[in-house]
Structure 1
């Protein structure tokens, strides 16, 4: 099975490949090495055939969602500190930072393929300011983060209202 990361937002999220560094624009499929090829590809939850959105997980609150194969993003128990891992976590950090600046709130979740609707192992709320390093984004399987620019408790929002 494949581990995936999922992101949901009240605003549209960018899709496509992030992090690839080809040799040149004229040779977009040629890379100096494997690290330059290492990237994350975000796909949205829109089926162009049926022209409808679907949800990656019943745990999400927002309709705009993306998913990416997380083969280079470790689970908390599998961190190795490899160059590919660091690069992909850096890409994810930049992607989430842009999304949170745009929408003010996102949901971030990881699970094995076909286990997206199973019970969560952990659910947490964090403020983006508290995520200091890309490794702060490493989760356990089926861990769910709600990330905001502000402290939602200051606005009287409780977990039951989330």
Structure 2
């Protein structure tokens, strides 16, 4: 099953792809190494077909949400310390740091696809200042954090 990470905020969150380093950005896009290709792509919770927002999970309090496929950010029990994990965790940390400075609060959640509304395994309140390292962002399945400045 596919794992996703989700963020919610009282202010709009940026969407887009972060972390790719192509040698040739044309068509086709060419990368020197697999690590240069590894990235996080954040997409918002707006359905253009229905022309409305939806919520990725019933647990979110805020309307502005993004999701990213987390194939290189494993659950805690699967953490291996690979260069891909480290790169994606750094991208996520930098993204969240900018978002928390803008909004003052974030909700952070991870889940397997389709399990976003199942009962939470853990819920925590966390201060951003206590998160010193990108590896501090590794969660268990269906762990939900409320992060404040």
- 1:19-30 correspondence runs (5 A): 19-25=19-25, 29-30=29-30
- 1:77-116 correspondence runs (5 A): 77-116=77-116
Contact 1:35/1:84 (CA < 8 Å) preserved in 2? yes
Extract unaligned runs of 5+ from structure 1. Answer: 150-162
Equivalent residue number for residue 141 of structure 2: 141
Cα displacement (A) at 1:13 = 0.5
TM-score normalised by length of structure 2: 0.97
Cα displacement (A) at 1:24 = 4.6
Equivalent residue number for residue 159 of structure 1: none
Distance, in Å, in 1 between the alignment partners of 2:129 and 2:36 is: 29
Deviation readout 1:20-53 (Å, 9 max, x if unpaired): 0111555781111100000001111001111100
Cα displacement (A) at 1:95 = 0.6
Equivalent residue number for residue 48 of structure 2: 48
Across the two proteins, how many residue pairs are aligned to each other? 149
Contact 1:22/1:28 (CA < 8 Å) preserved in 2? no
Question: Who wins on radius of gyration, i.e. which is larger?
Answer: 1
TM-score normalised by length of structure 1: 0.89
Distance, in Å, in 1 between the alignment partners of 2:27 and 2:127 is: 40
Equivalent residue number for residue 154 of structure 1: none
Extract unaligned runs of 5+ from structure 2. Answer: none
